[in-house]
Amino acid sequence: MKKNHSAQYHFFLMMLMLFFISLSTFSQDRNKLEKERERLKKEIEFTEKLLSETSENKQLSLSQLETLKQQIQLREKMMNNINKELNVISDQLDETTAIITALENDLQELKTEYSGMLYNLYKNRSSINQLIFIFNAGSFNDAFNRLKYLQQFSQFRKRQAELIEETKQSLQRKKGEQQERRTEKQKLLDAEQAERAKLNKEIQEKDRLVSSLQQQERKLREDIESKKRAAENLNKKIEEIIKKEIEKAKKEAELLAIKKAKEAEKTGVKVETKTNVLNLTPEAAKLSADFSGNQGKLPWPVDKGHITQGFGKAKHPVLKYVEVNNNGIDIRTTENSQVRSLFQGTVVTVMYNPGFQRAVMIRHGEYFTVYSNLKDVFVRSGDEVNTKQPIGLVHTDEKDGESKVHLEIWKGTQLLNPALWLFPNNP
């Protein structure tokens, strides 16, 4: 009896332990998915806000199309997230069902064993029978073992009753949890159905918008040429400014080299004169290293936004066989959003370009960041700025209601892809 009871008790404990381990894993997966779903929900709400801003304007724009595409991508991610969460709940339900079945079987075995105990107790219920059982022993050791057996039998019976009650309570809890998960699953299924309906509506709207924009081919081509000229003009200005910075640094380097050479003549110590002119001082070299070390971790230039046009060459979203080029990235945001510095540095210049409005260039050692399409600027040349410090307000186009900032990152005269330098998700 003791061996059977002990094995059963340990099996019960093992089943509960395995359940709680799996429950902990499921909870971690659920929490992670719920956090991701909440993040996607906020992003969708943000793009809906952007769409409402541009939809108030009667003029169709590529900005509306790009924002709508972003909305569709977020909606698809949301549905994928819900499906993953549904799979986790289904696994939880399967696990709970298996535990409930095991607990029900275990409860039945415990009841059967307990019934046998009660029957044996009834047969040997009187103290005289127990005494006879003890005194009929062939030796003192045998009598002691029989007495010990009766004591253990009483303890086993009590523990058996406790196990039955514990198993009943566990069974009730698991059935309650199972019902909760079924309710959660149904809510998620309803949410998925609602998301799918919204997605289908957005896809139809996207197709309608593309069709409408295709009818404006002439205007779109004119816009492309206009933006191309503005980009080339901005690019020319930036390159000129960077070259001036390099020339300025070269002159400083020459003066520093002459100074070091004179000091070397006095001391007789050989001086290394080769250096990166943009990292002339130790402070500039450290700033460059710090900037470089934060690749992929830099904050976004706006508090909330999404990329509507990426870096480099890409197919036009509407016109076939037309390719567009971008020296940086365009980030759509809300009206009157503050534009912030990606990193600490020094303002090199504030300039104006008709196609990109006001622009601010900031130097970070050998790196430069350029923020354009600003309507107001809070800084001026020579100002020291910190990471996330506001430097201006985003410009809103009166024609299409679009608010966006154009961001470029340069290493010397080499263009870099800003998307690779920013934190993956705009918080």
Q: For residue range 287-340, list pLDDT tens digits in order.
A: 999 999 999 999 999 999 989 889 988 887 777 777 888 999 999 999 999 999
Percent of the chain with pLDDT over 70: 71
Tokens 């719920």 sit on residue:
34
Kindly state the tokens that stand for 220: 């779109």
DSSP letters of 119-160?
Answer: HHHHHT-SHHHHHHHHHT-SSHHHHHHHHHHHHHHHHHHHHH
Q: Which amino acid is located at 108 in the chain?
A: Q
Checking if the pLDDT of 13 tops 90, the result is no
Q: Which residue has the higher pLDDT, 234 or 109?
A: 234
CA atoms within 13 A on the CB side of 254: 6
The pLDDT confidence band at residue 359, using thresholds 50, 70 and 90, is very high
Q: Does residue 106 contact residue 11 with C-beta atoms inside 8 Å?
A: yes
Q: Please state the rounded mean pLDDT for residues 135-145.
A: 60
Burial of 308 (0-12, 13-18, 19+ CB in 10 A): buried
Q: What is the per-residue pLDDT for 127?
A: 47
Q: What is the per-residue pLDDT for 378?
A: 96
pLDDT digits (tens, 9 = 90+) for 61-77: 777 788 888 888 888 88
Q: Which of 103, 100, 106 is nearest to 181 (CA)?
A: 100
Go through 221-253 and write b for each residue having 16 or more CB atoms within 10 A of its CB, e for each that does not.
Answer: eeebeeeeebbeebbebbeebbeebeeebeeeb
Q: What is the per-residue pLDDT for 222?
A: 78
State the DSSP H helix or E strand holding residue 290, giving kind and residue range, or none if neither.
Answer: helix 282-293
Distances (CA, A) of 354 to 207, 233, 236: 32, 10, 14
- Residue 312, classed as helix, strand or coil, is strand
Q: What is the per-residue pLDDT for 57?
A: 55
Checking if the pLDDT of 15 tops 60, the result is no
Checking if the pLDDT of 224 tops 70, the result is yes
Checking if the pLDDT of 151 tops 90, the result is no
Q: What is the per-residue pLDDT for 129?
A: 57
Q: What is the per-residue pLDDT for 337?
A: 94
Q: Please state the rounded mean pLDDT for residues 180-197.
A: 82
Checking if the pLDDT of 396 tops 80, the result is yes
Q: Which residue has the higher pLDDT, 190 or 373?
A: 373
Partners of 33 in beta bridges: none
Q: What is the per-residue pLDDT for 217?
A: 75
Q: Which residue has the higher pLDDT, 126 or 309?
A: 309
Q: What is the per-residue pLDDT for 144?
A: 58
Q: What is the per-residue pLDDT for 128?
A: 42
Q: Which of 157, 135, 158 is nearest to 147 (CA)?
A: 135
Checking if the pLDDT of 40 tops 80, the result is no
Which segment of 158-162, 254-258, 405-409 scores lowest on mean pLDDT?
158-162
Q: What is the per-residue pLDDT for 280?
A: 66
Distances (CA, A) of 4 to 10, 109, 171: 10, 11, 22
Checking if the pLDDT of 385 tops 50, the result is yes
Q: What is the per-residue pLDDT for 216?
A: 76
Q: Does residue 155 contact residue 91 with C-beta atoms inside 8 Å?
A: no
pLDDT digits (tens, 9 = 90+) for 242-300: 888 888 877 777 777 677 666 666 665 555 555 566 766 778 888 999 999 999 999 99
Q: Please state the rounded mean pLDDT for residues 394-409.
A: 88
The pLDDT confidence band at residue 3, using thresholds 50, 70 and 90, is very low
The pLDDT confidence band at residue 1, using thresholds 50, 70 and 90, is very low
d(C-alpha 330, C-alpha 339), whole Å? 13
Tell me the pLDDT of the chain averaged across its residues.
78
